[in-house]
Amino acid sequence: MLDKAINAVVLPVLAGAYQATLFVSKYQVVRATRPFRHSRRNLRDTLVLTVGQPNYAERIFIKRCKRKHERLPTGKALIRETRPGAS
C-alpha cells in the first residue's frame, strides 16, 4: 500500500510539479517536494519524501473538508505546480 502511495507522489514531482501530497488517512500523509533551485546546470533530480502526520496546512485542509461534509481525497494525489510565493 505504501509503495503505491510513494509512486503516486514521486512521479508527478519528477515530471515537473513542485509538490504532490497523498492523504492515506486523516492521520497519515505521503508528500514529495522538490527543493527550489534556480540553475540551468543542475542536472540532478532531488526531492524530499515525507511519510507521517499531516503538517499545519494539511490539518486545516482536513478540517475544512470535514466542515463541508466532503470526503477526504484519499485516492489521488493533490499536485501543486508552482512554489508558493513564486510569481
Q: What is the CA 7 to chain-centroid distance, rounded? A: 12
Whether the full predicted model's pTM is greater than 0.85, yes or no, is no
Question: Domain segments of the chain: what residues?
Answer: 2-80
Q: What is the pLDDT of residues 46-68, one digit of tens each?
A: 899 999 999 999 999 999 999 99
Cell of 39: 540553475
Q: What is the pLDDT of residues 26-41, one digit of tens each?
A: 999 999 998 876 677 7
If DSSP codes are grouped into helix, strand and coil, which group holds residue 1?
Answer: coil
- Average pLDDT of every residue of the chain: 87
Residue 44 has a pLDDT of: 78
Q: Are 33 and 13 in contact (CB under 8 A)?
A: yes
**Residue showing cell 492521520:** 27
3-21 as b/e: b if 16+ CB within 10 A: eebeebbbebbeeebbbbb
